[in-house]
Structure 1
Amino acid sequence: MRLRIDLAYDGGGFHGWAKQPGLRTVQGVVETALHTVMRVPADDTDEPLRLVVAGRTDTGVHAAHQVCHLDVEEPTLDRCVGHMQVPAVEALRRRLSHDLPDDIALHGVQVAPDGFDARFSALERTYVYRIADGTRSADPRMRGFVWKLEDTLDIPIMNEAAVMTIGLHDFGSFATPNPGGTTIREVKQAIWQRVPMTDMFGNAGNGEEAGIVACDETQRGVSKRNADNATNMGYTVPSLESGLVCFTIVADAFAHNMVRSLVNACVQVGRHRKSLDWFARKMAEPVREGSTGPIAACGLTLEHVAYPPDTELATRAQSIRARRTLD
Structure 2
Amino acid sequence: MERIRVRLDVAYDGGGFSGWAVQPGRRTVAGALVEALDRLLGPGAATGLTVAGRTDAGVHATGQVCHVDLADAAWAPVAGTLLRRLNAVLPTDVRVRAVAAVPADFDARFSATFRRYEYRVTDAAFGADPLRRHEVLAWPRPLYLAALTEAARGLLGEHDYAAYCRRKEHATTVRELTRLDWRRDPDGLLVGTVQADAFCQSMVRSLVGAMLMAGDGRRPTDWPGSLLRRRERAGEVPVVPPHGLTLVAVGYPDDPTEYARRADATRRLRLPAEA
Mind listing any 5+ residue stretches in structure 2 that lack a counterpart? none
1:313 aligns to what? Answer: 259
Conserved? CA contact 1:174–1:293, under 8 Å: no
Structure 1 residue 323 corresponds to structure 2 residue 269: yes
CA drift of 1:137 comes to 4.6
2:69 aligns to what? Answer: 71
**Partners in 2 of 1:277 and 1:130 — Cα distance?**
22
Conserved? CA contact 2:127–2:140, under 8 Å: no
Q: Tell me: CA distance 1:71–1:180, structure 2 relative to 1, closer, same or farther (3 Å).
A: farther
**Partners in 2 of 1:275 and 1:48 — Cα distance?**
51
CA drift of 1:3 comes to 0.6
Structure 1 residue 276 corresponds to structure 2 residue 221: yes
Structure 1 residue 244 corresponds to structure 2 residue 186: no
**Partners in 1 of 2:101 and 2:226 — Cα distance?**
47
- State which drifts further: 174-183 or 102-111: 174-183
CA drift of 1:179 comes to 5.3
SS of 1:276's equivalent?
coil
Q: Tell me: CA distance 1:33–1:177, structure 2 relative to 1, closer, same or farther (3 Å).
A: farther
CA drift of 1:126 comes to 1.0
Give 1 or 2: higher strand fraction. Answer: 2
**Partners in 1 of 2:116 and 2:102 — Cα distance?**
21
Structure 1 residue 285 corresponds to structure 2 residue 275: no
Equivalenced residue count is 267
Deviations 1:109-143 (A, max 9, x none): 11012421101111111100000113675211101
Q: Tell me: CA distance 1:162–1:119, structure 2 relative to 1, closer, same or farther (3 Å).
A: same
Structure 1 residue 16 corresponds to structure 2 residue 19: yes
Which of 133, 140, 148 pairs up with 1:143? Answer: 133
Conserved? CA contact 1:173–1:286, under 8 Å: yes
2:239 aligns to what? Answer: 294
Amino acid across the alignment from 1:148? A
Conserved? CA contact 1:190–1:250, under 8 Å: yes
Task: Give matches, 1:89-168, under 5 Å.
Answer: 89-134=79-124, 137-168=127-158
- State which drifts further: 69-78 or 154-163: 69-78
Mind listing any 5+ residue stretches in structure 1 that lack a counterpart? 82-87, 197-241
**Partners in 2 of 1:8 and 1:297 — Cα distance?**
16
SS of 1:323's equivalent?
helix
Structure 1 residue 6 corresponds to structure 2 residue 9: yes
Larger Rg: 1
Conserved? CA contact 2:64–2:247, under 8 Å: yes
**Partners in 2 of 1:293 and 1:22 — Cα distance?**
29
**Partners in 1 of 2:137 and 2:218 — Cα distance?**
18
Conserved? CA contact 1:97–1:105, under 8 Å: yes
Structure 1 residue 263 corresponds to structure 2 residue 208: yes
2:165 aligns to what? Answer: 175
Conserved? CA contact 1:35–1:49, under 8 Å: no
Which of 23, 26, 31 pairs up with 1:28? Answer: 31
Which 4+ stretches in 1 moved above 6 angstroms?
Answer: none
**Partners in 1 of 2:75 and 2:46 — Cα distance?**
13
CA drift of 1:144 comes to 0.4
**Partners in 2 of 1:72 and 1:179 — Cα distance?**
35
**RMSD, aligned α-carbons:** 1.9
Give the TM-score taking structure 2 as reference length.
Answer: 0.91
**Partners in 2 of 1:179 and 1:34 — Cα distance?**
35
SS of 1:173's equivalent?
helix
SS of 2:163's equivalent?
coil
